Structure 1
Amino acid sequence: MRVRLEDVAAAAEVSVTTVSRVLSGRGPVAAPTRDRVLRALDRVGYTRSTLLHSSVARLVVVGAPESPEHWQLEVCRGVSDRLQAEGVLTASAFLQPDLADVRAGAEAGAATVVTPTFTALDVDVPVVRFAEATVKSPASAPAGGPRVGGEWIAARIDLTGGLTLAFEHLTALGHRRIGLVCNEAGALAEQLQERFLAEHPARGLTSRLDGWIAAVPKSYSGGIEAAVRLRDATCTAVIVQSALQLHGVFAAMRQRRLVVPRDLSVVGFGDSSTMRYTAPPATVLGLDSPGMIRALAAGVRTVLDLPGERMRSVPPNFRPVLLARASTAAARS
């Protein structure tokens, strides 16, 4: 059976961070504590590659989702740049289902993993990540602190709260038959669907809300499929989770010789340069990338005990901002 850092930490009665510091030779650890960790390593039979040379700089894995959104790539790049400027060595990785790249980084001596995602990672080093603002922390999390299990929540992102902004914008334009295009799997997609049903302006007035949700692959073709389905369901506006899906929605309308926003108003999540050059420019829920970068970098400094801005005792909460462009317009009577 594979021995994990958590097993060593439990045997030595110390934190995973302390075990990681002993293994990497970086960071302050009292001599008696170091000896206790070394004895625990022998006792539980933990081994790791000894062919890798020690690095003077601390190593941090910056992990992006396997199919990242533009804003997640922007945050990953910003965190890497900021940490490297402070003397921290970073390695980029994609979060495949088996986490092979991340585990390889841990074996190479990475002290922590930092990622702009909302999903817990089963790895042997501390993880600095985001959480959805509406999701409660586990009961085991210390009161008033950002630590959640073996992970550190650097910030909360109110993506599902963006639905409220989108609803307010579209209802002000006279839309009531508003659909949702979301990923076919994932915790965030489930949360978006729950909030969509709970806050939809037509809730209580129709039994058709489930038919106004198109859970499709996170792809261009998925967006095309969703747009056709929701347009046939008489939706006059849609809120779209993924940028790839949003481009597919625009394509589906062109294929049907329909026009955005005359025949369908569209609101997307996350801004990028391409959103300004869709035809017409897309209305989106923009995110505070600089703020998210600062929060993740502060989390890494906290975990590694580095100088500079540290993680707050209460993680910041980032809410999207509506950037109204030309892909939304008044509903046709």
Structure 2
Amino acid sequence: MGAALGDVAAAAGVSVSTVSRVLGGRGAVAQATRDRVEAALETTGYARSTLLARTPARLVAVCPPAEPEHWQIDVCREVALQLQAEELLVSVPFLDPAGAEVRASAAAGAAVVVTPTFTSLETDLPVVRFAEAALGTGTPARGAEAGGRRAGAAPGSERIAARIDLTGGLTLAFDHLAALGHRRIGLVCNDTGDLADMLAQRFRAEHPARAASSRLGEWIAAVPKSHAGGMEAADRLRDATCTAVIVQSALQLYGVFAAMRQRRLVVPRDLSAVGFGDSVTMRYTGPPATVLALDTPGMAAALAAGVRTVLDLPGARLPSIAPTFRPRLVARESTTAVRR
């Protein structure tokens, strides 16, 4: 009886999954470890079945956040379809706080992690992700260097596929609401997460009343990402005299609408609302929601280009300067002129 993978792993002092990665040419394996596995293959006499030919296919972990926004789900779905069409294998682990799902993908032979988030990940695999566009011109976004890698990261370990212009998006929303006469504009954001922190920071920096009001802190409602959280936020911001709100999550936006109905008030007559990210459901809220829409197909294409760059595959690669995506305001019926 020939040697099994377990025999090779025991001889090399590594896991079976590491042996599998070396045999399949997938994933990141240190050269010293690879040398031990290859030596163990020779000493144990392991022979790979001719029915299991080496394949150029590689496994890519397409990772939505643990609590994704609907636009992040759309981006993950689109990038997975693009990569599968190019005969890459795709797994879809969530970015759980403990990182267990990403580690499981790495053990299965994942060669790269791609994710529509703004946060550096603690993993030995190469990462392709987004970053926030910087204020001003030419300055790297927080946590990233000009070359597309985070400060302190090993060369090639992280690539910024695109920058998302949160400041430009908020400015569009502020300009739209200010043109309708709103000055007391609030923010509904998640109570955890880097994206929520960035939105709150940009909200304070770009608010049209920042020089005239000391109440900006009262106009930020950081609540759970849920329908109930949106209801709580709407009540708080209405009591703080806000006449309009910008809302991070779709679930929170639905809660804002529900809270207004519960108080026998009307959107947009008593409270205008702007959502972050578009989806089919936003067109059928009561009334249809004004949103900051994102170019999800373009963002997915940028992430796919990052994967090709990291894996040295044919097709479109990352440009020398990552593209910047600015949200687009889609004005619907959930915003109107402020009541005098």
* Same fold per superposition (TM over 0.5): yes
Aligned partner of 1:76: which letter? C
Determine the structure 1 residue equivalent to 2:148: 146
Alignment of 1:52-201 (within 5 A): 56=55, 57-134=57-134, 136-137=140-141, 141=145, 143=146, 145-148=147-150, 149=153, 150-201=157-208
RMSD: 2.7
- Aligned-partner residue type, residue 109 of structure 2: G
Change (3 A) 1:206 1:147: closer
Q: What whole-Å deviation, never above 9, does each CA across 1:134-188 have from its counterpart, x for those lacking one? A: 28357984x5x32332211100011232111000000000000111111112222
Structure 1 stretch displaced more, 130-139 or 274-283: 130-139
- Does the CA contact (< 8 Å) of 1:20 and 1:111 recur in 2? no
Contact 2:134 2:142 in 1 (8 A): no
Partner of 1:300: 307
* Aligned with 2:316 (options 303, 309, 324): 309
2:322 partner SS = coil
Tell me if the contact between 1:61 and 1:110 (Cα under 8 Å) persists in the aligned partners. Answer: yes
Matches of 1:320 and 1:20, distance apart in 2: 45
1:273 to 268, 280, 283: 280
Amino acid at match of 2:286: A
CA distance in 1, matches of 2:59, 2:293: 31
* 2:25 alignment partner in structure 1: 26
Aligned residue-pair number:
300
Cα contact 2:19–2:37 (8 A) shared by 1: no
3-state SS, counterpart of residue 266 of structure 2: coil
Cα displacement (A) at 1:35: 5.9
2: distance between equivalents of 1:163 and 1:20?
A: 49
Contact map agreement 2:166 2:202 (CA 8 A) in 1: no
Q: 1:38 corresponds to which residue?
A: 34
How many angstroms apart in 1 are the aligned matches of 2:301 and 2:19? Answer: 24
Q: Check conservation: 1:177, 1:237, Cα contact below 8 A.
A: yes
User: Quick check: which has more Rg, 1 or 2?
Assistant: 2
Partner of 2:10: none
Cross-structure match for 2:297: 290
Which stretches in structure 2 are left out of the alignment for 5+ residues?
A: 1-17, 39-45, 47-51
Preserved CA contact (<8 Å) 1:275 1:281 = yes
Answer whether contact 1:21 1:111 (CA < 8 A) is retained: no
Structure-2 separation of matches of 1:283 and 1:193: 20
Structure 1 Cα separation of the partners of residues 19 and 299 of structure 2: 25
- Equivalent residues in 2 for 1:208-223 (5 A)? 208-223=215-230
Quickly say closer, same or farther: Cα 1:132–1:326, change in 2 above 3 A: same
Q: Which amino acid aligns with 1:302?
A: T
How many percent identity over aligned positions?
A: 65
Deviations 1:95-154 (CA, angstroms, capped at 9, x unpaired): 11012111101001000011111111111211111011128357984x5x3233221110
**Residues of 1 paired with 2:172 and 2:300: CA distance?**
23
